[in-house]
Amino acid sequence: MLPSEKLLPPDGTAIRGSVIWLHGLGADGHDFVPFVRQLDLLEQGIRFILPHAPVIPVTINGGMSMPAWYDILSADFFSPQAPETIREDADGIRYSQALIEQLIEQEMTEQDLASRQIILAGFSQGGAIALQTGLRYPKPLGGILALSTYLPQSSALPEEASQENRSTPILFMHGTQDDVVPASAARSSANLLADMGYPVDWRDYPIGHAVCTPQIRVIRDWILQCLSP
């Protein structure tokens, strides 16, 4: 099981749900702890699980080993016009998908939660795995938060998509000045999912490959709405 950082509600607080929050390439579970604390949701009974990705060699970074949810083989990682031409680490993506599915099951079992009480969130590479996992998970989830990211394995999704998550809320947030994951890749990902009938909400901000303070209130309200009884 993945080692994780955990931000937990005060003792005695009724648990409303859990958010599994996945970090980006080269970071770890500590990376989003300060941002998550600013959401001010622990006293609302919401748990936050921030797992650490395995350490693997990353091709695009000269083969250097670092925390990563999958290998990135080239800078051309998304093409909605010709998804079959993209070189992706399909095995690595599916391996991390399986790890997150195990983490979901663990949260449900240990906290006696329904699948709809679980939200997947992630930044950059972590957001890609949140989308990869959430769209294929065989039980309905509470929501998917996709920060500064894109849809991996897009050509395989029509055949692999879980019918149980066709109505799961998906919130995309992206910086218009992002030079790591271009906003066009994220927007194309969101449009592809919307065209497939998913309930997609798109928000952009005048920032680079990062998160910002104005996102906090939006994310907080969205999580509370997704986990409302």
Residue 156: burial class (beta carbons within 10 Å; 0-12, 13-18, 19+): middle
Residues near 207 by beta carbon (within 8 Å), at least 6 away in sequence: 175, 176, 177, 178
Catalytic positions, written as ranges: 124, 178, 209
Q: Are 60 and 72 in contact (CB under 8 A)?
A: yes
What does the DSSP 8-state code read for residue 210? S
